[in-house]
Structure 1
Amino acid sequence: MIKPLTGKAKQSVKLATARFNVWEGAVRSSKTVASIFRWMQYARTGPGGNLAMIGKTERSLKRNVIDPIIELVGSKRCRYLAGSGELHLFGRRIYTAGANDARAIEKIQGLTLAGAYGDEIATWPEPFWDMLGTRLSVPGAQFFGTCNPAGPVHWLKRWLDQSSLWLTHEGSISTGHADEPVDLHRFSFILDDNPHLDPAFVESLKRQYVGLFFKRYIQGLWVPAEGAIFDMWDENRHVAKMLPTITRWISLGIDHGTRNPFHAVVLGLGVDRRLHITREWRWDSAKQRRQLSDAEYSREVRQWLTTVPVPGTDTTGVMPEYTIVDPSATGFRVQLHQDGLPSKLADNEVLPGIRTMSSLLALGLIDVHESCRDLLLEIPGYCWDDKAAERDGTDQPIKLADHGIDASRYATHTTRSIWRSALRSSIHDAA
């Protein structure tokens, strides 16, 4: 149930009168709800002409924005036609699109727009943003959008810093902070700006997000990705000598390599309602001085699975429900299928995957068995690439000694819909 707007959310709706209006900051802070209310007002009263709603993907746009609108006004006044890429809101046709790569520009080229709504705009390619501005050519056209913070040199952050009006994190209004202001109103939110959240839920979010993610998703700050990625890692807490009974063998995560190391891990759900990386298998062709073919990798992995110990018993041999393989290993996936082990493409979005792993570690909901020596060597040294952050604001790890981590990320993040409800504490998605 969506509750009435109060405080900063209500104030931002009244202040969203510029050509561009952006709500940014913490997760669950009411910024999206406020932007939705303002967008619905605009759909009713704005100038005639084409409207557009754009997200990172059409699927995320539906989840984050369209579904809440339908919940608010009902399916008679808001109908989403996924097949045609259209939304009908209060009798107005709205085009919907995803902006997950540079080719998305083609989706809006040639359009003349009277208004647009953007979800997760910090994830858009900058050329798409530039093109969208040229499409808002109907007199009086306005843009309304939301995002979570990224790095301090991100293209959107530089643009937001030129706003003519800024409703700050502290709640004050600044109108003279930019040397060359643009017709943009910026609204910055922190988690505590949402008074409707259950205090226990707020506390669980603050425990879940640590380091970089705490600063961005709780405090709403545009801070760089720097230092150790898993800075919450504690060997005393996260390395298991003994494993509990595994109630569900969830996944086999595989980072495929030919010249680089090949790494596989097994993820299980314990009777303690926690996740456990129970064993690893690794082939480093540089050390072994021999490269394996996909057929040989398939044979070796399937043989290795028969030797994985079953905790609490004297038996060996497991068969995880899902085999998760990195998307680039097309030939290997074909080989697995031929050998009777169908695989699922890994969700290879690096930052969300790291966020999932970080949350699990922060909440004490995952550990690694002491036998996984290569993975345990990689985790403490897994660091953000400072040069990439300084150069263009890109959040990316240093690509060095990360094969076990990638396999673990695939195994956990790709299957999150499977294990999330079974854990003893909640893991919440960012939005």
Structure 2
Amino acid sequence: MPSLEPLTGKAKTAIQIPEWAKIVAFDGAVRSGKTVGDLLYWIHYCLHGPQGLLLIGGRTERTVANNLIHPLIEWFGPKSIRYTRATGMCSIFGRECLIVGFNDAQAQTKIQGLTLAGALLDEAAVIPESAFTMLVSRLSIPGARLFLTCNPEGPEHWLKRKWLDRARLWVDKNGVEHHNDFNKALNLYRVTFVLEDNTWLVRHNPQYIEELKRQYTGLWYRRMIESEWVAAEGSVYPMWDPGKHVIDWHDLPQMSRILAVGCDYGTTNASTGIMLGLHANHDQYGRITGHDLYAIDEFRYDSRAGNPRITDGELSRRFRTWLNTPHLPYETALQPEWIFVDPAAASWKVQLAQDGIQNLGDGENNVSYGISKVANLLDTGKLHISSKCKGLIEEFPGYCWDPKASDEGIDKPIKQADHSLDGLRYAIASTETEWQPLLNM
């Protein structure tokens, strides 16, 4: 997060909020200044808004802390911004705010019965619609407002279709104002940002803007960089090319780390594990010039392939046996640093823990986000697949977006032949903070 400076450009315009606006929505590209403007106005609202309980929400309490609370602490100091994770409360210049994660279909139950004087909502497009509707209904104190930020999703997404498209005033990504018919509009003020609206980055770090653009490809480039609400259609990984991406297992280079094994779990479907390694590239003088990721090896047990259904205990035994076999064509003492498991596989995770597997964690399961990371790594040639990962190689070509889900504004792949792909997605998305700074992307 950059240091705090006076707002300029669209961020400054955006916080000149009309008095009639009950909902203030900032949508558009990543790192485009949406959150900075929103947070600064939220500080003003905490100090001068109506009295009553305030709420700060997002996909999870962790993302709220990372995206909103920690930047405020960095700007204003821990004496002015006090976050107590145990109680789920944050004090902003003495004003108490309830912190809520809306991460599942039952999320609306967390706020039932509340009476709110205001709310700040991060990543609004990825929370359940029922929770969003409930949140708006809780803003019943006179003068209460909702401030939200989001990145674009599909054009039929409920947030766009039912709310953003009905804004009374919309400032589009080119700075052009659009007014909806008063009788059909909501009291919603919307501003759409593009990456270049972040004037701090434009002035101080234009190279970062170019690096950020290289981190996205295809669908996600249009959404996260060009601020377009576009549909996911056709192949999930159109850039997949086995001639480019598959490497013979015997030719795998030396790994500097084995970051993780990402595991998908199935009872009637396949259970899989994809081992992800990190390799450091060197020039002729031995200097590190960058890093690449490698899907090294694959664990796979498929009851549909003529194998009997087995218990969690037996699956754990087979997985642990696989973990203890050689995974690289040379001797190494490297071991996986993490085992990330399908978050829905609670019983198998418990079994693995009981059997002595350490460093267990839930895999990052934002599907669209994880897919975007895999797609960009493939597109930039930073991800290589070992020939040992046979199931993964077979699944790539047929992995497609669900057209029925796209019609409803949801990014959802067709759920068939995707178990190794899910394992790869867990491994990559869950270790992003480890590899992202190293890949020169």
TM-score (norm: length of structure 1): 0.90
**RMSD (Å) for aligned C-alpha atoms:** 2.3
Deviates more, 1:406-415 or 1:289-298: 289-298
Residue in 2 that maps onto 1:54: 57
Q: Measure how far apart 1:188 and its partner are.
A: 0.5
Distance 1:178 1:228, change over 3 A: farther
Paired with 2:338 and 2:185, the residues of 1 have a C-alpha distance of 52
Indicate how the Cα distance of structure 1 residues 291 and 92 shifts in structure 2: closer, same or farther if over 3 A, else same: closer
Distance 2:387 2:23 in 1: 53
CA distance in 2, matches of 1:278, 1:108: 45
Instruction: Describe how 1:144-223 pairs up with structure 2 within 5 A.
Output: 144-158=147-161, 159-176=163-180, 180-197=184-201, 198-223=205-230
1:13 matched to 2:15? The reply is: yes
**1:414, 1:298 → 2: CA distance?**
21
1:39 maps to which residue?
42
By how many angstroms is 1:48 displaced? 2.5
Could you say if the C-alpha distance between residues 294 and 114 of structure 1 is closer, same or farther in structure 2, counting changes exceeding 3 Å? closer
What is the alpha-carbon distance in structure 2 between the residues aligned to residue 92 and residue 294 of structure 1? 48
Distance change >3 Å, CA 334–CA 80, structure 1 → 2: closer
Q: Is the 1:22–1:186 contact (alpha carbons within 8 Å) kept by the matching residues of 2? A: yes
Q: Is the 8 A contact 1:163 1:178 kept in 2?
A: no
Name the structure 2 match of 1:383: 400
Distance 1:334 1:87, change over 3 A: closer
Q: Which residue of 1 aligns with 2:439?
A: 424
User: 2:122 is aligned with what amino acid?
Assistant: D
Q: Is the 8 A contact 2:157 2:409 kept in 1?
A: yes
Q: Does 1:322 align with 2:338?
A: yes
Distance 1:267 1:170, change over 3 A: same
Distance of 1:416 and 1:249 partners within structure 2: 13
Matched, 1:118 2:121: yes
8 Å CA contact 2:257, 2:334 repeated in 1: no
Which amino acid is 2:13 matched to?
Q
The answer as to 2:430 corresponding to 1:414 is: yes
Tell me if structure 2 keeps the 8 A contact 1:24–1:147: yes
Is the CA contact (8 Å cut-off) linking 1:360 and 1:366 kept in structure 2? Answer: yes
Per-residue CA distance 1:116-155 (angstroms, 9 max, x = gap): 2111111222222222222222222222111111111111
Report the 3-state secondary structure (helix = DSSP H, G, I; strand = E; otherwise coil) of the residue aligned with 1:271: strand
Q: Distance in 1 between matches of 2:244 and 2:69?
A: 41
Q: Distance in 2 between matches of 1:345 and 1:52?
A: 27
Task: Flag the 1:366–1:185 CA change in 2: closer, same or farther, 3 A.
Answer: same
Q: What's the CA shift string for 1:271-307, capped at 9, x where partnerless?
A: 3221111222333322234334444433433433454
2:237 aligns to what? 230
Report the 3-state secondary structure (helix = DSSP H, G, I; strand = E; otherwise coil) of the residue aligned with 1:153: coil
Change (3 A) 1:301 1:139: closer
Q: CA deviation at 1:166?
A: 0.5
Query: Is the 1:209–1:362 contact (alpha carbons within 8 Å) kept by the matching residues of 2?
Result: no
Structure 1 equivalent of residue 371 of structure 2: 354
Query: Structure 2 CA distance, aligned partners of 1:93 and 1:306?
Result: 51
Name 2:285's counterpart in structure 1: none
Q: 1:183 to 1:195 in 2, by over 3 A?
A: same
Q: Which residue of 2 aligns with 1:400?
A: 416
Query: Please, which moves more after superposition, 190-199 or 343-352?
Result: 343-352
On the 8 A contact 2:252/2:328 being kept in 1, the answer is no
Q: Is the 8 A contact 1:161 1:178 kept in 2?
A: no
Aligned-residue offset at 1:35 = 1.0
Question: SS at the partner of 2:433?
Answer: helix
Find the aligned partners of 1:291 and 1:113 in 2 and give their Cα distance.
Answer: 51
Residue 303 of structure 1: aligned partner: 321
Cα-to-partner distance string for 1:321-351 (whole Å, 9 max, x where unaligned): 3223323434433443444333433233322
What does 1:106-145 align with in structure 2 at a 5 Å threshold? 106-145=109-148
For 1:46-87, what per-residue CA distance to the aligned partner results, in whole angstroms no more than 9, with x for missing partners? Answer: 223332222222221121112222222222222223222222
Map of 2:86 onto structure 1: 83
- Residue by residue over 1:329-388, the C-alpha shift from the partner in whole angstroms, topping out at 9 and shown as x without a partner, is 344334434443334332333222212222322332211012322211211221111111
Select which of 237, 255, 262 maps to 1:253: 262
Is the Cα–Cα contact under 8 Å of residues 211 and 231 in structure 1 kept in the other structure?
Answer: no
The 3 A distance-change label for structure 1 pair 282 and 109 is closer
Say if 1:380 and 1:113 are closer, same or farther in 2 by CA, change over 3 A. Answer: same
Instruction: Note if contact 2:273-2:298 (Cα within 8 Å) is conserved in structure 1.
Output: yes
Identity %: 44
3-state SS of paired residue (1:398): coil
Alignment: residue pair count: 422
> Does structure 1 conserve the Cα–Cα contact (< 8 Å) formed by 2:166 and 2:180?
no
Q: Can you give the 5+ residue segments of structure 2 that lack an aligned partner in the other structure?
A: 282-290
| Aligned-partner Cα distance in 2 for 1:305–1:394 | 36
Paired AA for residue 5 in structure 1: L
Q: 1:257 to 1:135 in 2, by over 3 A?
A: closer
**C-alpha distance in 2 between matches for 1:243 and 1:177:** 62
Contact 1:308–1:317 under 8 Å retained in 2:
no
In 1, Cα distance between equivalents of 2:268 and 2:126: 32
Distance 2:323 2:99 in 1: 45
What is the alpha-carbon distance in structure 2 between the residues aligned to residue 316 and residue 291 of structure 1?
Answer: 34
Contact 1:207 1:362 in 2 (8 A): no
The residue type equivalent to 2:423 in the other structure is: A
Whichever residue aligns with residue 267 of structure 1, its letter is: L
Instruction: Tell me if the contact between 2:53 and 2:118 (Cα under 8 Å) persists in the aligned partners.
Output: yes
Q: Residues 139, 376 of structure 1: CA spacing in aligned structure 2 closer, same or farther, 3 A cutoff?
A: same
Runs of 5+ unmatched residues, structure 1:
427-431
Give the match for residue 280 of structure 2: 271
